[in-house]
Amino acid sequence: MDSKILQSFLKENLADLKSKGLYNVIDPLESSNGPLIKICGKEMINLSSNNYLGLATDPRLKAAAIEAINKYGVGAGAVRTINGTMELHVKLEEKLAAFKHTEAAIAFQSGFNCNMGAISAVMDKDDAILSDELNHASIIDGCRLSRAKVIAYKHSDIADLRAKSLQAKKSGLYKKIMVITDGVFSMDGDIAKLPEIVEVAEELDLITYVDDAHGSGVLGDGVGTVKHFGLSDKIDFQMGTLSKALGVIGGYVAGKKELIDWLKVRSRPFLFSTALTPGDVAACITAIDILSNSTELQKRLWENGNYLKEGLKGLGFNIGASQTPITPCIIGDEIQTQIFSRKLYENGVYAKAIIFPTVPKGTGRVRNMPTAAHTRVMLDQALVIYRKVGLEMKIL
Ligand SMILES: *Cc1c(COP(=O)(O)O)cnc(C)c1O
């Protein structure tokens, strides 16, 4: 029997979202998520994936996954702490630790559940967490789950962080205090001010946690934002994902051995959710090997990012102040942004509109994610389409 309350709740709220243009329609891909994608039978230039290095379709990763599936099967069969830990998982964690220049690492099934599990394994209701106001949803949820007092500080505002940390410290209310930040902020492409954050943390004895989902594979010769600043021994939690630049799936924390030992007995997704599949783990290991041995893919990613940025800026678009290959094209008005994205789509460029509440009101943007796998021809074609739509909509 259908619940009447549920029915009216869903009807009302879905209608509300649709009337405000906030209901997200999903377009399924009929291809891999490479530089070109197929949707509804139409091939388009893809500027929306997080597949920064093109590794999601790399033949070496595919071969490693197939080989592992043939040897170990498709599923791990249990959670990590029962008997779902295969030799592959151990190897992945050793590789991650070496890659991140830390003593140890722990792998999770996703970046999202890694943040949920890792933050709440260490922080509790007697603690406080200073969190950048633009931090990712999984950080926000992980902080909430921990029941620690969450104190948001203004985006990358070190004076605000220092003042609020000092106040928390002086209050004497909290046993432990953590500062947590994205390494690279995905909506604007700006980099966290880690050296200053570390300075405040050292001054006030704060635990440091960096979520480097968009920095790993991209900054610091691919190792990430922490390495970019030369701070590998100064950050307690180096969290990252295996699903963006690394092209597969999974999340991890790299850090001191004792921290990782603790997470292996206390983080709930590690204890209560089935381990990463053997095929995925083998592909991740291969991805880390590729990144450890060459910076060729990063070089191409940055070249493509710079090329697209220069091109859009040259046409007269507002591309914000990104410090990474993430290239926002800021339109402003929410409805205009959505129309802009739709017109790009009709002309063969897939670049999603990102609007309030994901970004502040009046800063609606089409966000472009160039990758190492894009060719100059693809980027030139995208720029031609951007120009056409920009002129059509009188934005240029
Ligand atoms: C994407 C993302 C995550 C989640 O990672 P998944 O592996 O996709 O679950 C966590 N944090 C940040 C900052 C992200 O951008």
Supply the pLDDT for residue 60: 98
Q: Are 79 and 271 in contact (CB under 8 A)?
A: yes
Going by CA atoms, what residue is nearest to atom 15 of ligand 1? 213
**Residues whose CB is less than 8 angstroms from the CB of residue 168 and which lie 6 or more positions away in sequence, other chains included:** 128, 130, 149, 151, 174, 177
CB atoms within 10 A of CB 264: 17
Residue 366 per-residue DSSP state: E
Q: What pTM was computed for the model?
A: 0.97
Is the pLDDT at 21 greater than 80? The verdict is no
Going by CA atoms, what residue is nearest to atom 6 of ligand 1? 111
List, chain by chain if needed, residues with CB within 6 Å of any ligand 1 atom.
110-112, 115, 136, 138, 182, 186, 211, 213-214, 241, 243, 251
273 catalytic? Reply is no
Q: Are 256 and 232 in contact (CB under 8 A)?
A: no
What 3-state DSSP class applies to 162?
helix
What 3-state DSSP class applies to 306?
helix
Q: How far apart are CA 264 and CA 260, in angstroms?
A: 6
- Do 21-50+295-393 and 57-293 have matching folds? no
Categorize the per-residue pLDDT at 353 as very low, low, confident or very high, splitting at 50, 70 and 90: very high
Categorize the per-residue pLDDT at 93 as very low, low, confident or very high, splitting at 50, 70 and 90: very high
CB atoms within 10 A of CB 307: 17
Going by CA atoms, what residue is nearest to atom 1 of ligand 1? 213
Q: Cα(51) to centroid of ligand 1, in Å?
A: 13
Residue among 241, 248, 253, 273 whose CB has most ligand 1 atoms within 8 A, to mutate: 241
**CATH code that applies to domain 57-293:** 3.40.640.10
Q: Cα(118) to centroid of ligand 1, in Å?
A: 14
Domain coordinates in residue numbering, the chain: 21-50+295-393, 57-293
Is the pLDDT at 1 greater than 80? The verdict is no
Residue type, 217: G
Residue 274 per-residue DSSP state: B
Q: Are 180 and 211 in contact (CB under 8 A)?
A: yes
Nearest to 270 by CA among 106, 133, 66: 106
Give the position, in ligand 1's atom list, of the atom nearest the Cα of 251: 7
Q: What are phi and psi of 322, to 5 degrees?
A: -65, 140
Distance (Å) of CA 138 to CA 117, 145, 166, 315:
10, 10, 26, 36
Rg of the chain, C-alpha, whole Å: 22
Going by CA atoms, what residue is nearest to atom 2 of ligand 1? 213
Residue type, 212: D
Give the chain's largest Cα–Cα span: 62
Q: Cα(112) to centroid of ligand 1, in Å?
A: 5
Q: Are 92 and 285 in contact (CB under 8 A)?
A: yes
Tens-place pLDDT, residues 159-174:
999 999 999 999 999 9
The answer to whether the peptide bond before residue 59 is cis (omega within 30 degrees of 0) is no
Categorize the per-residue pLDDT at 291 as very low, low, confident or very high, splitting at 50, 70 and 90: very high
Going by CA atoms, what residue is nearest to atom 7 of ligand 1? 111
Q: How far apart are CA 21 and CA 392, in angstroms?
A: 22
186 catalytic? Reply is yes
101 catalytic? Reply is no
Nearest to 199 by CA among 153, 225, 235: 235
**CATH code that applies to domain 21-50+295-393:** 3.90.1150.10
Of 164, 244, 352, 374, the active-site residue reads: 244
Of 120, 131, 138, 186, the active-site residue reads: 186
C-alpha dihedral (353, 135, 312, 377), degrees to nearest 10: -80
Question: What average pLDDT score do residues 237-257 get?
Answer: 98
Categorize the per-residue pLDDT at 390 as very low, low, confident or very high, splitting at 50, 70 and 90: very high
Is the pLDDT at 22 greater than 80? The verdict is no
Quote the Cα angle for 127-235-294, to 5°: 145
Q: How far apart are CA 323 and CA 297, in angstroms?
A: 18
CB atoms within 10 A of CB 203: 12
